[in-house]
Structure 1
Amino acid sequence: MKIKLVIIVLFFINTMSAQKIYFSAKAANDSLILEKNISDFAAKSVGKYEKSKGLDSLEKQLKLEILAGRFKNAVTTIGKYRNVFANSKYACTRFVNYEIYALAKDIEKNERTVFPKALEKAFNIKYAELPEKYSFRVAEIFSEDIPLQRTKLKKGLMALKNDSIANAAALGLAMSYLDLKVSSQIQSKVTDLLILKDKERYTIESFNLKTSGGGNVEITIMRRKGNEKPLPVILTNNIYAGKYDYAVGKRAVAYDYVGVVVNTRGKRNSPDEIEPFEHESHDLYDVVDWISKQPWCNGKVGMIGGSYLGFSQWGAVKKLHPALKTIVPQVSVGIGIDYPMTNNVFMSYMLQWIAYVTNNKLTDESDFRNFAKWDSINTAWYKSGKSFRALNSVKGIRDKIFQRWLDHPSYDKFWKDMVPYKEDFSKINIPVLTTTGFYDDDQLGAMYYFREHLKYNKNANHYVVMGPYDHGGAQSYGVNILRGYKVDPVARINISDLAFSWFDYILKDGMKPELLKDKINIQIMDTNEWLHVPALEKSHNSKLKLYFTKKENEQLVLTKDKPGVLNSTKQIVDFKNRDDKDVYFKVGKSDSIKINNSLVYQTEVLDKDLIISGAFNAQIKAALNKKDMDITISLIQIKPDNKIFFLSDFLGRASYAENREKRRLLEPGKIETIPVVNSMFVSKKIPKGSKLVVILGVNKNSAYQVNYGTGKDVSEETIDDATEPLNIEWYNDSYIEIPTIEK
């Protein structure tokens, strides 16, 4: 009886998800019929989302309300979305394009005016409401790729057959239709209106500066109109040339500074070649020198920016100019550390990113956002078994920068010349504020600079703020929900406010930001508390040492007890097989973890609360039949309700585990000791009733190089080098050390 009931339920669910609704096939070629059908669909469908509080449902609700002509309702829903997403003051620009459109349509309807006039009125109303400090990036929202949106809509219209369409397809079609409609009807006009507002508020100048190294860089200066007194300058070095240049300049002005943005060589009007990362350590000294001599500068310069812009600041202090008084590197790319390789393993994403910044003088947004294209390139390369060097030729791409980077698999002079190295850090005596997050893609880079700075300069005036932020959040503001986790209220801070409070402290003799109670400031998830300590090693006071072992029934476990008898667990990875089927480790009734080419070790249920705080280390004892392998380790919490929560991970090449600068191949058949020392930092309370899970394995997918273990340059290896499968013996005296706080 139960089996029959399950079958009936599954049949009902599948029937509902595949339900067909009426939708005229003529809509594919008749815009009036299309609009009528979509409006009817929206009116019938919007009620499904009105009681939901999730972000995805709120987004669908607000868009369906606009399509159904319920414009005031849509504006209200946009406000609800912002409140759920983050502090609504910080998130004031989320869906601002849809908000202005809805306001304009409501004005058009109720005031019986033409849409262009209604749009201008709606824009002026909304612009007046936007807080200047938090709306600096509003112009970027009005730079959607309209041709790409049009192509997406056309693809959706291809599903219209026999006057019917699946409900899910209709929803997707409606969303695509609205996206294009909003962009095409308001984007150009609002952009013009924003330019007029900028002219009213700012003095903007742009010109080319020739550096002493022979390069040419584009400089844009933004000042508040009417303000003639010299001010400190906030400088940002930006390879992502475009409207973002004006955005960060406006932000500096909003906080009462002069904003200066320099574009790297080859960008905007620079005639040079675009060579990412290679010239900042030379060019930025000249840029700071020029700024410091201008009448609108009081002789003090600070730098800010995230990701590449964070890296740039470390490039700038390799040769420190006296006028550069402080830097605020956010989510800084650790060049050669975490990008374009992570612990010496090159990533496929590097090719997509290189195209993004080098295809033209600005940024190739359309190509970069074509994720299907890049996924197909990476998949085609992986399936082909060609060398990683051939990745750029899979679809006829030619890229010398990609090839140049691959020539440097060790952390060698090529990378070292771009940022401070060893003793260079000892000369950096200006205050530094680093921000990063537990889920920041460049956390390893940000923390590399911090550790090296403290290692070579014992008196370094360097502060760190870290919490439950991703790459975007740690350079903007904390959201309310991150990866399904409800972020503690104390962590929902505005990073821009923090940064400019820091600038006020250093450049204007203001008060030190209240959050910076000590050099290291870490938000411990699920405690609603910040941890303030003087040094990184003080972020924990104990370590949980767990051995990778197995019981007599072959179950793999993590145990505190060092095994009395040495034994091993065997794993086989066939690099010739490119038809990999995903393998999952099931947790509870509904959650699972992908464990391709990995083993799963887990603890017993915790009998007391545990606070993890820090980056785990591990010592892996293994014997294999190859000379190398790329190791993956993931640390995961299984919560008392059997839900999975990702904590931290590691990816690294075994032959570089001891020294990222020099490769030491493994000896086949010998039990090797492989240290793991550069994992992701996390801080979180793990309540009793939870389990800890460690997934230990070997990297083999399209996102990274495939290391076949021959000992040759991994970028040159092909599937022909796979020969026999990789055979690993993971020994039970291997262990992981998890930093903890014991109270």
Structure 2
Amino acid sequence: MPPRFSIRILTLTALLCTGAAPAAALAHRALSPPPSIPTLRLPSDVTVQTAAPVMRTLARALLRQSDPARDRETRLDNRFRLLSVAGKPEQARATLAALRQLRLRRHAMQADARDLPFVILALARAHGPLSAPRFADAFHQVVTPLDNRTASLVVRAIDLNPVYYPFAERFRQALDTARKSSRLSVTDAIALVRAYQLYDAYLAFQQYARPLIDAEDARRYRIRKVQVKTHDGASISVLVVRPRNTHDKLPALLNFTIYADPRFSLSEARRSAANGYVGVEGYTRGKAHSPDRPVAYEHDGRDADAVIDWIARQPWSDGRVGMYGGSYEGFTQWAAAKHLPRALKALMPSVAAAPGIDVPMEGNVFQTFAYYWPLYTLTNKTVNNRMLTDQARWRRMQWRWYAEGKPYRDLPRIDGTPNPTFERWLDHPSYDGYWRSMIPYRKDFAKIDIPVLTTTGYYDGGQISALYYYRQQRRYAPNAESYLLIGPYDHVAGQRGTIDMLGEPRDVIDGYRIDPVAHIDLGALRYAWFDYVFKHGPKPAVLKSRVNFEVMGANTWRHTESIAAMHDEERRFFLRPARSPGSRHRLAATPRHDAVTPLTVDLAERDKQDPFTEFGRIVTRRIDRWNGLVFESAPFRHDVQFSGLFEGHFDVTANKRDFDFEVDLYEQRPDGRYVRLSYYMARASYVKDRTTRHLLTPGARTRLDFTAGRLTSRQLRKGSRLIAVLSVIKTPFAQINYGTGKDVSDERLADAGTPLKLLWHGDSALDIPLWRGAPPPASHLPPKHETP
């Protein structure tokens, strides 16, 4: 399974900060087992519900041990959690106070709000067992004096949705693992207690916090739910949150979403109101309290346009609206902008989806990760979390379809549940008028001349769509104030930054420890951006030029006027066959026009499975070469940056009328490990034009010229090699193109015929964007923003 199919399945995880051993102890630990708690044996019958006394005993034992964490901040964080579980709330408060002072001195993200929920708990438990009156007293003591900005972050951290932050399940998993150990290392035991502390804390928040949050909201904000009528008579549910501390007319920030999660929507609107805006949440027609039938994508642009017009007519509005949000909510911004609402003055789309470009198909190849999404979003008035969490069901469906070789269009029958939205999508395999009606297309972008800040990540599965919008606006409206910010982020970090809802930093993304400079709070950047546009505030410091990107491995930001300016050389590597059997094929500086590198894939074969096991990780010990060819370059003689978009110029002969392929690029470091860089995937018949299918002539040479839709920037060290894997797409996780020339959704295993045979000719090449020169002055410190 190539990287493409592993990074598009979204998962939300909380990171345990257990740290590493001090340097002075490394030599000793190499010769002896890690410190452990040999006297503790977890009872075999201990459960999540009965774990409290066992965890208290373990926490007290750990307080007598030396914490192996290297960093003082991590040691303080561990200690306050151990003290909390050990039943020592006063000492926990004192440790928390020291921890907060340290984080404030270090200018840690959201340091003013972080940990305050746990201060509330420590205060509530200081004088006896936890109770509603004691929790209420502590809540008011901590939250009431706070300004709106800080209070909104504290309330958000308390009021988490357990579907996305399942602390009970995480503790259960940690407990099951610990029960299987004869003894626990100190690090593992601390991790277990941390998991329990979060479970215990959020159990208390769920029990006591809701009425207090409601009362605090009523004191600080005016909250209203309304129905807005569209031009065709549909009803759109809208939530409006206005700050009580002003009577001025204000600009509004609109998040238009299909994810009608009341808790999250209120959190977002509250935060906008806390930052001096009117916070507005609008929902796709048919969602929330709208009586209409929910429909994804098709009406959102016109409906958001109607909501924007409604906002501008309200007495509390100053007539200006900005839009923000990620993924689907990035799509709705561009969908609204297509209709040119007069009041829409700025956008901040993050990891924006583009229907027909990256979902539900990419390169005109339909992706099965999108199958369950309509059932998750369209089968009730909120979101159907059962569909989101039942990943075992979708895996069974995918593997059954793959094994039986049925048409892709039969997926709903295999699953046993109607999925009319997915079936409607399959009726549009080209990027036709159905898809083009949803978002700006070509010259539509020329009229969108408002400021736009796009954020995405190198490892965001939807980066291709975020860059599509950015590049199209730059092409057709070159004078618009448009910025791109990108770094080593995934789909979540590309819209939230490297900080979670608890205020905890994410140091590791998909197994890759990000550079310190890459840490960023995109929530804070959101309000800095809109303050710049609407309130004459300073331009955010990180936006030094049009394209702002972090160079992985160099711990620095670079800033250029265009994507093309990210590199100063396009180095061409030609595909050359291996010199001898068993060796790798080559990425060579010169072509061999008479050379051919063959690839044969039996599309009917189902007995073998991809042996690769490191799916979804950025740094791996091996690469996935399933159904593919591996090409390697000579080692780089000097340090060089891979920065920008790569291109492909392939000359290929196929024995069928079509095939689907993928190109995956890696750095192979001198130590032998691989770092995932970028990839491109497409249906060969659509490489020339995603709107029109051009079938191949079997046995004739075909030219495939493309520019990848995903960029990256990484410092390649001397001795590293560039690795390219050129593979045919044949997995349970996407359509299988059997090459008949029929609609691929209607093809079946019986259409496979003879194996697919491809001949990659010697003038086929990859153009790799490299930066060799001395970079311009770079940002060596994380971008600073006041944390709203």
Superposition TM-score, scaled by structure 2 size: 0.81
Question: Quick check: 1:436–1:466 contact (8 Å CA) kept in 2?
Answer: yes
The question of 1:217 aligning with 2:236 is answered: yes
Task: Give the alignment partner of residue 740 of structure 1, picking from 755, 761, 770.
Answer: 770
Question: Quick check: 2:631–2:723 contact (8 Å CA) kept in 1?
Answer: yes
Shift of 1:291: 0.9
The question of 1:115 aligning with 2:131 is answered: yes
Corresponding residue SS for 1:563: coil
The question of 1:202 aligning with 2:229 is answered: no
In the alignment, what sits opposite 1:542? 569
In the alignment, what sits opposite 2:700? 670
Corresponding residue SS for 1:282: helix
The question of 1:132 aligning with 2:149 is answered: yes
| Deviation sequence 1:98-155 (CA, Å, 0-9, x none) | x36xx63x54654225433443344445546798267277168532149987789899
Question: Quick check: 1:422–1:456 contact (8 Å CA) kept in 2?
Answer: yes
Residue 275 of structure 1 aligns to which amino acid in structure 2?
Answer: V
In the alignment, what sits opposite 1:610? 640
Deviating more after overlay: 188-197 vs 577-586: 577-586
Corresponding residue SS for 2:240: strand
Shift of 1:194: 1.5
Residue 556 of structure 2 aligns to which amino acid in structure 1?
Answer: E
Shift of 1:183: 4.1
Q: Distance in 1 between matches of 2:738 and 2:341?
A: 46
Q: Distance in 1 between matches of 2:205 and 2:218?
A: 20
The question of 1:406 aligning with 2:426 is answered: yes
Shift of 1:702: 2.2
Structure 1 stretches of 5 or more lacking a match? 1-11
Aligned counterparts, 1:420-499, within 5 A = 420-478=440-498, 479-499=506-526
Q: Distance in 2 between matches of 1:584 and 1:557?
A: 25
Task: Give the alignment partner of residue 331 of structure 1, picking from 351, 355, 359.
Answer: 351
The question of 1:624 aligning with 2:654 is answered: yes
Q: Distance in 2 between matches of 1:109 and 1:326?
A: 46
Question: Quick check: 2:658–2:695 contact (8 Å CA) kept in 1?
Answer: yes
In the alignment, what sits opposite 1:239? 258
Shift of 1:502: 2.6
| Deviation sequence 1:183-205 (CA, Å, 0-9, x none) | 44431421222112111111111
Q: Percent identity over the alignment?
A: 30
Q: Distance in 2 between matches of 1:153 and 1:585?
A: 25
| Deviation sequence 1:635-657 (CA, Å, 0-9, x none) | 11122333321111112111111
Task: Give the alignment partner of residue 554 of structure 2, picking from 515, 521, 527.
Answer: 527
Are the structure 2 counterparts of residues 590 and 504 from structure 1 closer, same or farther at C-alpha, using a change threshold of 3 Å?
closer
Are the structure 2 counterparts of residues 584 and 490 from structure 1 closer, same or farther at C-alpha, using a change threshold of 3 Å?
closer
Higher relative contact order (CA 8 A, sep 6+): 2
Residue 260 of structure 2 aligns to which amino acid in structure 1?
Answer: A
Structure 2 stretches of 5 or more lacking a match? 1-30, 499-505, 774-788
The question of 1:320 aligning with 2:337 is answered: no
Q: Distance in 1 between matches of 2:591 and 2:165?
A: 62
Q: Distance in 1 between matches of 2:728 and 2:361?
A: 16
Q: Distance in 2 between matches of 1:146 and 1:429?
A: 37
Task: Give the alignment partner of residue 144 of structure 1, picking from 142, 162, 165.
Answer: 162
Corresponding residue SS for 1:469: coil
Aligned counterparts, 1:281-292, within 5 A = 281-292=301-312
| Deviation sequence 1:589-643 (CA, Å, 0-9, x none) | 9822222212211112211011111111112222222222211111111223333
Deviating more after overlay: 239-248 vs 360-369: 360-369
The question of 1:192 aligning with 2:219 is answered: no
Task: Give the alignment partner of residue 730 of structure 2, picking from 700, 704, 712.
Answer: 700
Residue 712 of structure 1 aligns to which amino acid in structure 2?
Answer: K
Q: Distance in 2 between matches of 1:48 and 1:713?
A: 65
The question of 1:726 aligning with 2:756 is answered: yes
Shift of 1:368: 1.0
Corresponding residue SS for 2:457: strand
Aligned counterparts, 1:47-62, within 5 A = 50-52=67-69
Corresponding residue SS for 2:768: strand
Corresponding residue SS for 1:740: strand
Q: Distance in 1 between matches of 2:513 and 2:167?
A: 33
In the alignment, what sits opposite 2:621? 591
Shift of 1:703: 2.1
The question of 1:571 aligning with 2:600 is answered: yes
In the alignment, what sits opposite 1:656? 686
In the alignment, what sits opposite 1:684? 714
Q: Distance in 1 between matches of 2:473 and 2:399?
A: 39
Corresponding residue SS for 1:218: strand
| Deviation sequence 1:540-568 (CA, Å, 0-9, x none) | 22101111213421431211122253222
Q: Distance in 1 between matches of 2:343 and 2:709?
A: 36
Question: Quick check: 2:333–2:349 contact (8 Å CA) kept in 1?
Answer: yes
Residue 132 of structure 2 aligns to which amino acid in structure 1?
Answer: P
CA RMSD of aligned residues (A): 3.9
Are the structure 2 counterparts of residues 527 and 137 from structure 1 closer, same or farther at C-alpha, using a change threshold of 3 Å?
farther
Q: Distance in 2 between matches of 1:327 and 1:590?
A: 37
Q: Distance in 2 between matches of 1:389 and 1:61?
A: 55
Question: Quick check: 1:435–1:464 contact (8 Å CA) kept in 2?
Answer: yes
Aligned counterparts, 1:8-27, within 5 A = 22-24=41-43, 27=46
Question: Quick check: 1:93–1:138 contact (8 Å CA) kept in 2?
Answer: no
Question: Quick check: 1:62–1:78 contact (8 Å CA) kept in 2?
Answer: no
Corresponding residue SS for 2:663: strand
Residue 599 of structure 1 aligns to which amino acid in structure 2?
Answer: L
The question of 1:368 aligning with 2:388 is answered: yes
Are the structure 2 counterparts of residues 46 and 684 from structure 1 closer, same or farther at C-alpha, using a change threshold of 3 Å?
farther
In the alignment, what sits opposite 2:588? 559
Are the structure 2 counterparts of residues 281 and 704 from structure 1 closer, same or farther at C-alpha, using a change threshold of 3 Å?
same
In the alignment, what sits opposite 1:342? 362
Are the structure 2 counterparts of residues 288 and 38 from structure 1 closer, same or farther at C-alpha, using a change threshold of 3 Å?
same
Shift of 1:463: 1.9
Residue 112 of structure 1 aligns to which amino acid in structure 2?
Answer: G
In the alignment, what sits opposite 1:229? 248
Question: Quick check: 2:663–2:681 contact (8 Å CA) kept in 1?
Answer: yes
Superposition TM-score, scaled by structure 1 size: 0.86
Aligned counterparts, 1:257-276, within 5 A = 257-276=277-296
Are the structure 2 counterparts of residues 259 and 689 from structure 1 closer, same or farther at C-alpha, using a change threshold of 3 Å?
same
In the alignment, what sits opposite 1:514? 541
Are the structure 2 counterparts of residues 108 and 289 from structure 1 closer, same or farther at C-alpha, using a change threshold of 3 Å?
closer
Are the structure 2 counterparts of residues 718 and 65 from structure 1 closer, same or farther at C-alpha, using a change threshold of 3 Å?
farther
Shift of 1:686: 0.9
Q: Distance in 2 between matches of 1:143 and 1:13?
A: 43
Question: Quick check: 2:577–2:595 contact (8 Å CA) kept in 1?
Answer: no
Question: Quick check: 1:617–1:679 contact (8 Å CA) kept in 2?
Answer: no
Q: Distance in 2 between matches of 1:474 and 1:153?
A: 28
Question: Quick check: 1:148–1:366 contact (8 Å CA) kept in 2?
Answer: no
Corresponding residue SS for 2:371: helix
Corresponding residue SS for 1:394: helix
Are the structure 2 counterparts of residues 654 and 526 from structure 1 closer, same or farther at C-alpha, using a change threshold of 3 Å?
same
Q: Distance in 2 between matches of 1:152 and 1:536?
A: 41
Deviating more after overlay: 413-422 vs 464-473: 464-473
Give the aligned length. Answer: 719
Q: Distance in 1 between matches of 2:155 and 2:733?
A: 31
Deviating more after overlay: 600-609 vs 479-488: 479-488
Are the structure 2 counterparts of residues 79 and 725 from structure 1 closer, same or farther at C-alpha, using a change threshold of 3 Å?
farther
In the alignment, what sits opposite 1:5? none
Are the structure 2 counterparts of residues 636 and 361 from structure 1 closer, same or farther at C-alpha, using a change threshold of 3 Å?
same
Residue 636 of structure 1 aligns to which amino acid in structure 2?
Answer: Y
Are the structure 2 counterparts of residues 122 and 713 from structure 1 closer, same or farther at C-alpha, using a change threshold of 3 Å?
farther
The question of 1:388 aligning with 2:405 is answered: no
